Amino acid sequence: MTRQQLLDLYFMDARSKLIDIAAFLDRVDRGEGDADFRLDAFRKALAELNRGEPVRAKGVLMSLSDPTTEPIAKAPGKGAVGAWPGTGIRCE
């Protein structure tokens, strides 16, 4: 598809999601108390959007991923929270 056609199909949807992200960050700013590691991870992942090539989705996913390679001793619970407490992976 042409860039023009893709804009016609998806611009309004992406615009709405972009404003939702801005409003989410504003809401968190207005909140009280400390934020956990997820906020930092989110901000780092946002930087992936500035890439000049079409690997942004992969870049965001990698930056939120556990970069370690060894299985862990015991499950801390069953769920996942969406971000890794350490530094995620920068994909090249």
Partner 1 sequence: MRYIEPHGHMVSRVTDDYEAMVLAGCRAVCEPAFWAGYDRSGPEGFYDYFCQLTDYEPKRAAKFGLPHFTWLCINPKESEDMVLAKEVMALIPQFLERPNVLGIGEIGLNKNTRNELKVLEQHIDLAARHDQLILVHTPHLEDKYKGTRLILDAMKADTRIEPARVIIDHVEEHTIQMVLDEGFWAGITLYPESKTTPPRAIDMFEVYGGQRVWLNSACDWGRSDPLAVPKTAVEMRRRGHSDETIDQLVFQNPIRFLSQNPRFTVH
Q: Which positions touch partner 1 (CB under 8 A)?
A: 1, 5, 9-10, 57-58, 61-62, 64-69, 71-84, 88-89, 91
Would you say 19 or 86 has its CB closer to partner 1? 86
Cβ closest to partner 1, residue 27 vs residue 78: 78
Positive or negative CA dihedral for 32, 77, 64, 11? negative
Residue 87 CB, shortest distance to partner 1, in Å, is 12
CB of 32 to partner 1, least distance (A): 26
Dihedral over alpha carbons 14, 18, 19, 22 (to 10 degrees): 170
Residue number, 30 or 74, with CB nearest to partner 1: 74
How many alpha carbons fall within 13 Å on the CB side of residue 29?
A: 7
